[in-house]
Structure 1
Amino acid sequence: MKTLLILGAGKEQVPAITRAKSKGIYTVVLDMNPQAEGLKYADEYHIISTRDKKSLIDFVKNCDGKIDGVITIASDIPHMVSKVAEEIGVKHIPIEAACLTVDKLKMKEVLKKAGINVPPFRKINSLNDLKKFINEYAYPVVIKPVDNSGARGVLRLTEAVDLTWALNESKSNSRSGDVMVEKFLEGNQISTEGIMYEDEFYITGFADRNYEMLEKFSPNIIENGGDSPTLLSQDAKKLVNSEFEKAVRALDINWGPGKGDMIYSNGRAYVVEIAARLSGGNFCYDHVPLGTGVDIVDAYIDMAVGNSINTDCFKPKFQRGVAQRYFFPGIGKIKSISGLDKVKNMKNIVKVDFFIKEGDLIEKQSNHTTRVGYVIAVGKDKNEAVKFAEEAVKSVEFTFE
């Protein structure tokens, strides 16, 4: 029996744990939270922070038995995965590549040097730096921490936003204190995902991101799910995929997963960010399999432990509409939630989940981690899936004390 080390045991790592176990692979799971949901599914678990390099290395050095592979999904720690994997001598994304993707500024610098289309950007150290950039490129712009995820501290700045507040807010969400600014490009925002195997990059995920609530949550940038198949033309999709693959190769992700946040604007494809990991937000383990039958998590697990891969697994088996929408009920202490049973019984709703319960206090939604729940719907096409997802959201009622 092969053994897979999985870094992280949160809700979004559960699919990796359960898929590995279903394949007869022994799962060893690490997480600093003793209440993490995934721990109950693991064959073996240990309470260790997945960001504590020394503790991770000490663990694998003293681990009983052979570890055949190391992965995470939906957690922005590819550099930790690579460092642990190198320590035990198993397949991994190059450490330098993984480290580049968790520093958005360095990532953009490498991409720009390689000739990849990226929005104009700059590191900022002061309010004056921010004002200079705005004077040069005009509103709107985006300020963000160079080293965080989940849209924490990511703000879309317009004339109505206090720049001093925005700079401090973004810095407070940066682990290093470093922030950057980039031009906000109008256009179609796309989630892409793929995996590098034997020098071939297989793009398995492509969906339209939904930012219909951009003004409501301004200046915070909060995505309200996403839909597939894309509305883009085949030619536009090819441009996006081409720029995505060029970016992955420029960062030297020569094995394993790559995730892209892309924009199609004025006939050109741009890279916003590349992650050296599989995506969160249900994309890799729910959305893509439901829409195309491609299970990239399953394939990644096999790659990590050294099992053989039939590359047909990366090819779509079918195409149907998928739409995900989040619940944004308001702010306050929840008195009751009604309509959930109705939604669970809706024919085209395949998944509904909440991160809160009655009695919980909902605070202002400021990033993706503060969303309170979601539904995923399927349909014969994108429009039908969106219709079912939006009907489901409207069917749930929250009352507050």
Structure 2
Amino acid sequence: MTDTLLICGIGSGMDRSLARVKEMGVRALVVTDRITERVWKSADICLEADPDDFTGVLSAIRAERPGRISGVMTLGYDNPPVVARLAAELGCPGVPVEVADLCTLKDRRIAALDRAGLPVPRFAVATTADAALAALNRIGLPAVVKPSDRTGSLGVAKLDALGTAREPVERALALSPTGHVVVEEYLTGTEHTVAGFAVDGRLRVTGFADREYGEKERFFPHFFEGGDTLPSVLDEAQRAEVVRTVQRGVDALGLTTAVVNTDILRTPDGRVYLLEITCRLTGARIATEIMPLATGVDPLPNAVRLALGRPLAEEELRPTRDRAVVQRYLPANGGTVEWVGDLAEIARTPGVHDVFWGLDLAPGTVLPPYRGGDEVLAGVITSGPDTAAAEALATRVLSRLPLRLTDRPAAPAPTP
């Protein structure tokens, strides 16, 4: 009998990987709140529901009556608590619910890492703006405020003065379903993504990338991440130290058998901070396309095997190449689309793996002001003989996009 795999949630651009899931011979039951043409073509059953709503997803599945479901996973969508609850309800392999919660809820995660002795930023958890502002006296400025139970960069803001901190704190509180925020010390350094699998508690690394934050404060108080770069600027010893820190995080959070995605910060003096660790595939095509382009290691088949309770194919974890690959984003920041053209010609440029729009664009489309990482106007994935060449190509491609905007505000100057 063919196994039915429930894919609950598809991250930005990750619908491109759905066809490869189907190549593994499973029956794909996809639940998403954004049914794209790729989803329609690749899914055996497609249901529209909010992937963050456990009750709504379960109701949609029961109404469909798809038969026995053998596994549950997400394609780079940040909803491990829902995936864990679905796996438990449906009798599928999966991360324990309490572990998924611990990995996702920012207040619980940072407290658990702190208890385990891992380096974490000075932090406080608050339920009121007054309590959050009072915590700044201990944490110091600058600082960062984050909704405890929101994913990605939604509601995340830099606080650089007490006189202007209340508004972003209140916005973060309003965005939190439970009314909790984390206020953290603002750290500087290089940031990195380590992706892999925990099997019997041991970390198997499938990718190591640098996060591009050269214009991190371009849209202050919001943060802008410009993309990802492979190979890393860190040397072998520095990478090994980062991986050891991730292993400690795996141990601290009880990630015995799981997909692992992390956000690491390394300070100029070499101190390694585990800012985030969660149990899902790295999104935005990083784990499924960018890392495999660079190293030849494709984690997607093993992620499917893990969801179905099958052993990993260890031979697929070994790198087969070492190629420079970058992904770069152009942020959306207001304006009205006057004209938009076809990307096909520019996509044929040698060294371009893909160039894509991040939003649905048509003449008359009004773009939002930049408020976070999801507001990407366009992006490109390129490769080259080295990272400098790949990055230069990405910059040229993004400067030649077939797009004309009117009424676009001037870009704010970066904060010193």
Alignment partner, residue 357 of structure 1: 361
Alignment of structure 1 residues 207-218 onto 2, 5 Å: 207-218=209-220
Q: How far off is 1:36 after superposition?
A: 7.5
Q: Distance in 2 between matches of 1:328 and 1:49?
A: 25
Q: Does structure 1 retain, via aligned residues, the 8 Å contact 2:31–2:51?
A: yes
Structure 1 counterpart of 2:371, from 366, 374, 377: 366
Q: Does structure 2 retain, via aligned residues, the 8 Å contact 1:94–1:252?
A: no
Q: How far off is 1:343 after superposition?
A: 2.4
Q: Distance in 2 between matches of 1:305 and 1:175?
A: 31
Alignment of structure 1 residues 225-264 onto 2, 5 Å: 225-264=227-266
Aligned length: 401
Q: Assess, with a 3 A threshold, how the Cα gap between structure 1 residues 161 and 385 changes in structure 2: closer, same or farther.
A: farther
| Matching residue's letter, 2:50 | S
Q: Deviations over 1:71-113 (max 9, x none)?
A: 0022121111111112222211111110112210011111110
Q: Assess, with a 3 A threshold, how the Cα gap between structure 1 residues 399 and 56 changes in structure 2: closer, same or farther.
A: closer
Alignment partner, residue 50 of structure 1: 51
Relative to the length of structure 1, the TM-score reads: 0.93
Q: Deviations over 1:19-77 (max 9, x none)?
A: 22111111111224556852442011223332332344455667343211110022121
| Matching residue's letter, 2:146 | K
Q: Which moved more, 1:58-67 or 1:330-339?
A: 58-67
Q: Assess, with a 3 A threshold, how the Cα gap between structure 1 residues 363 and 32 changes in structure 2: closer, same or farther.
A: closer
CA RMSD, Structure 1 to Structure 2 (Å): 2.2
Q: Distance in 1 between matches of 2:34 and 2:119?
A: 39
SS of 2:374's equivalent in the other structure is helix
Q: Assess, with a 3 A threshold, how the Cα gap between structure 1 residues 27 and 392 changes in structure 2: closer, same or farther.
A: same
Q: Distance in 2 between matches of 1:82 and 1:347?
A: 42
Alignment partner, residue 29 of structure 1: 30
Residue 334 of structure 1 pairs with residue 337 of structure 2: yes
Q: How far off is 1:10 after superposition?
A: 5.8
Q: How far off is 1:158 after superposition?
A: 1.4
Q: Does structure 2 retain, via aligned residues, the 8 Å contact 1:13–1:72?
A: no
Q: Distance in 1 between matches of 2:329 and 2:295?
A: 22
Q: How far off is 1:138 after superposition?
A: 2.7
Q: Deviations over 1:276-329 (max 9, x none)?
A: 111112211111111111111121112222444321211211111111111136
Q: Does structure 2 retain, via aligned residues, the 8 Å contact 1:337–1:397?
A: yes
Alignment of structure 1 residues 37-116 onto 2, 5 Å: 38-58=39-59, 63-116=65-118
SS of 1:372's equivalent in the other structure is strand
| Matching residue's letter, 1:41 | S
Q: Distance in 2 between matches of 1:11 and 1:135?
A: 38
- Gaps of at least 5 residues in structure 2 are 407-416
Q: How far off is 1:165 after superposition?
A: 1.1
Q: Does structure 2 retain, via aligned residues, the 8 Å contact 1:9–1:38?
A: no
Q: Assess, with a 3 A threshold, how the Cα gap between structure 1 residues 259 and 10 changes in structure 2: closer, same or farther.
A: closer
Q: Distance in 2 between matches of 1:249 and 1:107?
A: 12
Structure 2 counterpart of 1:309, from 300, 307, 312: 312
Residue 162 of structure 1 pairs with residue 153 of structure 2: no
Q: Distance in 2 between matches of 1:348 and 1:248?
A: 36
Q: Assess, with a 3 A threshold, how the Cα gap between structure 1 residues 9 and 273 changes in structure 2: closer, same or farther.
A: closer
Structure 2 counterpart of 1:384, from 370, 389, 402: 389
SS of 1:5's equivalent in the other structure is strand
Alignment partner, residue 344 of structure 1: 347
Q: Assess, with a 3 A threshold, how the Cα gap between structure 1 residues 379 and 160 changes in structure 2: closer, same or farther.
A: farther
Q: How far off is 1:173 after superposition?
A: 2.3
SS of 1:223's equivalent in the other structure is coil
Q: Distance in 2 between matches of 1:341 and 1:160?
A: 49
Alignment partner, residue 3 of structure 2: 2
- Gaps of at least 5 residues in structure 1 are none
Q: Distance in 2 between matches of 1:21 and 1:161?
A: 54
| Matching residue's letter, 2:285 | N
Q: Deviations over 1:157-182 (max 9, x none)?
A: 21397112111222232222211110
Q: Deviations over 1:182-218 (max 9, x none)?
A: 0111111111111112433111121111112223211
